[in-house]
Amino acid sequence: MTLAEYPLVLAPRYTAHVGSGIYVTVGLDVTPFKSAIVTVWRGNLIGTSANFGVTLEESSDQETWSVCTGTTPSTDPGANNEVLIDPTLDKQYFRIKMILNGANAGVTWFATGSLQSRKA
């Protein structure tokens, strides 16, 4: 039996951020889903000593966030490359956090994929 999959867009193609900071999406209620498959891509970083990292997070209350099971914090796919991340969803809410650091830092990136249903 194959479980149903639903499209997921956390950061649309192509999202750009300029300036060091922590950027997070709205927490999505993922109660009906058991896991996700997320592709993260980024272009070249601009700025001095710029660095980039994404973390998939989950929460029971949208106040306290923790790293999703099966993922690594601050994942960076590298310039003009993508990485596939496969988190297990154990809590009610799910989001992506992107951290961009460096003087005059900038990046273009996206994060898309699918959610896998708990039931067929």
pLDDT tens-place values along the chain, 120 residues long: 577 899 999 999 999 999 999 999 999 999 999 999 999 999 999 999 999 999 999 999 999 999 999 999 999 999 999 999 999 999 999 999 999 999 999 999 999 999 999 886
Q: 55: closest CA among 41, 66, 43?
A: 66
List Cα–Cα distances, 58 to 15, 28, 101, in angstroms.
22, 9, 23
Question: DSSP secondary structure string, 25-68?
Answer: PPPEE-TTEEEEEEEEEE---EEEEEEEEEEEEEESSSSS-EEP
pTM for this prediction: 0.93
Q: Domains in the chain, please, with CATH?
A: 5-117 (2.60.120.260)
Which helix (H) or strand (E) segment is 71 a member of?
A: none
